[in-house]
Amino acid sequence: MTSTSSSPVSFVRAAVDAEIASFTERRRAQLLEIGAELAPVMEALEAMLAGGKRLRPAFCYWGWRGAGGAEVPGIYTAAASLEFLQACALIHDDVIDNSDTRRGLPATHKRLEALHRRSGWSGGAQGFGQGSAILIGDLCLAWSDEMFQGSELPLEALRAGRRPFDEMRTEVMAGQYLDMLEQVRGSESVEASLRVMHYKAAKYTIERPLHMGAALAGRSAELAGVYSDYGIALGIAFQLRDDVLGVFGDPEETGKPAGDDLREGKRTLLVAETLERATPADAAEFRRHLGDPHLTPETVEWMRALATECGALEACERRIDGYVAQATEALESPEVDDAARPALADLIVAATARKH
Amino acid sequence: MTSTSSSPVSFVRAAVDAEIASFTERRRAQLLEIGAELAPVMEALEAMLAGGKRLRPAFCYWGWRGAGGAEVPGIYTAAASLEFLQACALIHDDVIDNSDTRRGLPATHKRLEALHRRSGWSGGAQGFGQGSAILIGDLCLAWSDEMFQGSELPLEALRAGRRPFDEMRTEVMAGQYLDMLEQVRGSESVEASLRVMHYKAAKYTIERPLHMGAALAGRSAELAGVYSDYGIALGIAFQLRDDVLGVFGDPEETGKPAGDDLREGKRTLLVAETLERATPADAAEFRRHLGDPHLTPETVEWMRALATECGALEACERRIDGYVAQATEALESPEVDDAARPALADLIVAATARKH
């Protein structure tokens, strides 16, 4: 995602970073009081929290401003709490997918696995790494709602804001399970990938953070519909862009090896479109390579060419354009406060830009 | 734990069960609306929640009553939320320890692993089971605080009750990590097992639930100290009893194979005492068998005999008696409301009885 100093993401970012730093500082003291050996837990957690685009906090904040919410410190705390939820999702996701890296750095479980090896402890290093990462993710999940509930916003506002917060947590975990299910079922349908995108990405990344902002500002009734129209459309566009980048992206920009999604065998919409449009022989060959961890650069190139030539890439780009148009139209609603409309428009561009 | 219809555990149990059933019912509807394929997630979760002694809710409830809290429905909701936290802890613990069973039934990850096999899906069944169990545990953790915060108690009371609730979650996860650490370090010290017991069992199972009850009733200042004296002592006694039963318990009553903790290689205080008291040769042989998954009944018998003859069992029993006396003495404080004192005294017996 492009981010300049004046973008609506980076505007929120500094305040969210400060909230995370101050919350983490207090929790570090608590953990180290329990035991000095907990330092590596804290380091792994801080490394995970240091990265990320703060996209969910940005949508929560602008959802609040779009609902007429004032510029008060409490909204940044509530928004920042989403980063702990996201940290849990990523840490656990990496254990589930057995991913070695995250944003170009070792995944949390690999980090703790390395600590085990370095220390020459007994038992399996891999099991220790995975077990630790499960617990570190749990800590992040617990701290997420501790931080949300500790925001200096009126208790009634927090009660209203919890509804979308709670819905969102259930949805993202359900979405992750469905995603896992589609992988093991070898699902190839466009509908199946759209459903996973709906829950795992669109609602979680964009719609629900916006709903939280609106609910915290006491304006759910007026804005929930508008934010859903904007958020679901933009969320799917965002995920489709991510899928395209996962196959065609430049490693320098994505922080992942070229064609990483193909190696991982992700059943994305781009893959579904390719399998649907290619000749049976090409589809069979594509399917055979999909999920092969040892894919050569040449085969990645061949798979990219097939996705392009059969029209799947173009179909995804057309879908992205269509969803961007829907999100843009939704923003025209007079319910959205003028203070937020330009930022929400910029976020459409930021979330779907061809470079990350 | 013995439980008769009039015990302070069973008194709370029926109301807590009803709270869990009604909360679960609403969440089931939400999950099935997202996708009918989520039914097995819900079934696994309900199977886990069906068991258990509701010990933490009982301490939360009696902590509330001991602080003068009235008989209102909201306290049962807040107390019941602890069962979802505990479900998360157990589900994730079973993944971390790679345990096949829980309370005589398949562990959550084994349940989902079996679903994968039965369905003939692709990819690894074990990975699918573990991944699903991580997500199901996450759902339980999120639902725990959703339920707590949704209790029909005044918002100010909930804000006060959250403090011990939040502390507890951090402590139990930190305690689990330290426990894992002691295992891989092959720690044999009595101090190390006492520290793990302090965080993972005493504070989590007894002290913090009592603190929650007191804080919800607005009487933290008066009761926190008394409840800590009672709770930590009783919590350690409870864990020591559990450790003794893990080695000497009757499979019919514990729901686990005889000597299961020896097979798992748990570094309990009983083990530490045995290694400290036995002759070097016996200690070396004991150490060699500890953690051997294929221990024969004869070897289990030999290990039990050693723990008995070297005085380790007796030392544990003496410690239990000492802690029970401390807890009993703490209860004499005039700060504790008379309405709760008999129940809190009965809970000492229930938590440390020689049968579970």
- ipTM of the prediction: 0.92
Q: What are the percentages of helix, strand and coil residues in chain A, rounded to 5?
A: 75, 0, 20
Residue-level pLDDT at A265: 85
Interface test with A, best of B26, B27, B31, B34 (most A CBs within 10 A): B34
* CB contact residues (below 8 A), chain B span 8-27, against chain A: 27
Among A41, A171, A174, whose Cβ lies nearest the Cβ of B177? A41
Chain-chain contact of B41 with A174 (C-beta, under 8 angstroms):
yes
Q: Which residue has the tokens 């500082």?
A: A25
Tell me whether A191 touches chain B (CB under 8 Å): no
Give dist(CA B190, CA A63) in Å, integer.
54
Q: What is the DSSP string of B74-126?
A: HHHHHHHHHHHHHHHHHHHHHHHHT-SEETTEE-HHHHHHHHHHHHT-SS-HH
| Span B149-176, average pLDDT | 96
Q: Would you say B327 and B237 are in contact if contact means Cβ atoms under 8 Å apart?
A: yes
pLDDT exceeds cutoff 70 at A325: yes
Give dist(CA B199, CA B175) in Å, integer.
5
Angle A49-A50-A56 from CA coordinates, rounded to 5°: 60
* CB contact residues (below 8 A), chain B span 255-294, against chain A: none
Rg (C-alpha) for chain A, rounded Å, is 21
B156 CB neighbour count, 10 Å cutoff: 10
Chain A residues lying within 8 Å of B134, measured CB to CB: 92, 95-96, 134, 137
B139: distance to nearest CA of chain A, Å? Answer: 6
Q: Which residue has the tokens 């991913």?
A: A99
The per-residue pLDDT of chain B, averaged, comes to 93
Least confident segment among A208-212, A249-253, B318-322: A249-253
Residue-level pLDDT at A36: 95
Tell me the pLDDT band of A258, cut-offs 50, 70 and 90: confident
Model confidence over A111-126: pLDDT tens digits?
A: 999 999 999 999 899 9
Single out the residue of B236, B231, B221, B240 nearest to residue B328, CA to CA. Answer: B231
pLDDT exceeds cutoff 60 at B202: yes
Residues in chain A: 356
> Would you give the distance in Å from CA B151 to the centre of its chain?
22
Model confidence over A131-165: pLDDT tens digits?
A: 999 999 999 999 999 999 999 999 999 999 999 99
Please give the domain boundaries of chain B with CATH numbers for all domains.
8-352 (1.10.600.10)
Single out the residue of A242, A234, A239 nearest to residue A327, CA to CA. Answer: A234
Q: What is the DSSP string of B46-70?
A: HHHHH-S--HHHHHHHHHHHHTT--
pLDDT exceeds cutoff 50 at A3: no
Tell me the pLDDT band of A101, cut-offs 50, 70 and 90: confident
Share of chain B above pLDDT 70, in %: 98
Give dist(CA B131, CA B321) in Å, integer.
42
Give dist(CA B212, CA B163) in Å, integer.
8
Number of H helices, E strands in chain A: 17, 2
pLDDT exceeds cutoff 90 at B115: yes
Give dist(CA B257, CA B264) in Å, integer.
11
Q: Which residue has the tokens 């500890």?
A: B290
Tell me whether B254 touches chain A (CB under 8 Å): no
Looking at the DSSP bridge assignments, the partners of residue A106 are: A101
Chain A residues lying within 8 Å of B169, measured CB to CB: 139, 142, 146
3-state secondary structure of B102: strand
Residue-level pLDDT at B332: 96
Tell me whether B98 touches chain A (CB under 8 Å): yes
Single out the residue of A301, A233, A241, A300 nearest to residue A270, CA to CA. Answer: A241
Give dist(CA B346, CA B325) in Å, integer.
13
One-letter amino acid for residue A142 of the chain: A
Phi, psi (rounded to 5 degrees) for A106: -60, 140
Residue-level pLDDT at B195: 84
DSSP conformational letter for B123: S
Give dist(CA A68, CA B20) in Å, integer.
38
pLDDT exceeds cutoff 60 at B113: yes
Model confidence over B241-265: pLDDT tens digits?
A: 999 999 998 887 777 777 888 998 8
Residue-level pLDDT at B67: 98
Share of chain A above pLDDT 90, in %: 79
pLDDT exceeds cutoff 50 at A29: yes
Residue-level pLDDT at B6: 66
Q: Which residue has the tokens 């849990």?
A: A88
Among B121, B156, B162, whose Cβ lies nearest the Cβ of A149? B162
Chain-chain contact of A142 with B170 (C-beta, under 8 angstroms):
yes
Q: Would you say A69 and A151 are in contact if contact means Cβ atoms under 8 Å apart?
A: no
Give dist(CA A113, CA A156) in Å, integer.
44
Chain-chain contact of A180 with B146 (C-beta, under 8 angstroms):
no
Crossing angle of helices A155-184 and B125-149, in 10° steps, is 170
| Span A64-73, average pLDDT | 97
Give dist(CA B193, CA A305) in Å, integer.
60
Chain-chain contact of A173 with B128 (C-beta, under 8 angstroms):
no
Sign of CA dihedral A151, A133, A92, A235: positive
Tell me whether B71 touches chain A (CB under 8 Å): no
pLDDT exceeds cutoff 90 at B299: yes
Q: Would you say B112 and B133 are in contact if contact means Cβ atoms under 8 Å apart?
A: yes
Tell me the pLDDT band of B1, cut-offs 50, 70 and 90: very low
To which H or E segment does residue B3 belong? none
Task: Quote the tokens at residue B302.
Answer: 């030999």
Among B98, B178, B183, whose Cβ lies nearest the Cβ of A37? B178
Chain-chain contact of A177 with B130 (C-beta, under 8 angstroms):
no
3-state secondary structure of B124: coil
Tell me whether B35 touches chain A (CB under 8 Å): yes
Chain-chain contact of B27 with A170 (C-beta, under 8 angstroms):
yes
Tell me the pLDDT band of B2, cut-offs 50, 70 and 90: very low
Sequence-separated (6 or more) residues with CB below 8 Å from residue A347: A8, A9, A58, A59, A62, A234
Chain A residues lying within 8 Å of B184, measured CB to CB: 116, 121-123, 128
Chain-chain contact of B123 with A183 (C-beta, under 8 angstroms):
yes
Give dist(CA B53, CA B305) in Å, integer.
30
Chain-chain contact of A96 with B134 (C-beta, under 8 angstroms):
yes
Residue B97, judged by CB atoms within 10 A of its CB (0-12, 13-18, 19+), counts as middle
Angle A125-A129-A133 from CA coordinates, rounded to 5°: 170
Model confidence over B129-148: pLDDT tens digits?
A: 999 999 999 999 999 999 99
| Span B31-38, average pLDDT | 95
Stronger pLDDT, B8 or B32, i.e. the higher one:
B32
Residue-level pLDDT at B5: 47
**Exposure class string for A292-321: b at 16+ Cβ within 10 A, else e:** eeebeeebbebbbebbeebebbebbeebbe
Among A172-186, B44-58, B322-336, the range of highest mean pLDDT: B322-336
Chain A residues lying within 8 Å of B82, measured CB to CB: none
What's the per-residue H, E or C state across A206-248?
HHHHHHHHHHHCCCHHHHHHHHHHHHHHHHHHHHHHHHHHHHH
Q: Would you say B142 and A141 are in contact if contact means Cβ atoms under 8 Å apart?
A: yes
> Would you give the distance in Å from CA A150 to the centre of its chain?
23
Nearest CA in chain B to A164: B146
Give dist(CA A62, CA A11) in Å, integer.
10
Chain B residues lying within 8 Å of A180, measured CB to CB: 128, 131-132, 135
Tell me the pLDDT band of A78, cut-offs 50, 70 and 90: very high
B297: distance to nearest CA of chain A, Å? Answer: 24
Please state, in angstroms and as integers, the Cα–Cα distance from residue A22 to each residue in A15, A25, A42, A129, A151, following that order.
11, 5, 14, 27, 13
Q: What is the DSSP string of B134-148?
A: HHHHHHHHHHHHHHH
The per-residue pLDDT of chain A, averaged, comes to 93
| Span A218-239, average pLDDT | 96
B70: distance to nearest CA of chain A, Å? Answer: 23
Residue-level pLDDT at A6: 66
Chain-chain contact of B170 with A31 (C-beta, under 8 angstroms):
yes
A305: distance to nearest CA of chain B, Å? Answer: 27
Tell me whether A181 touches chain B (CB under 8 Å): yes
To which H or E segment does residue A105 belong? strand A105-106
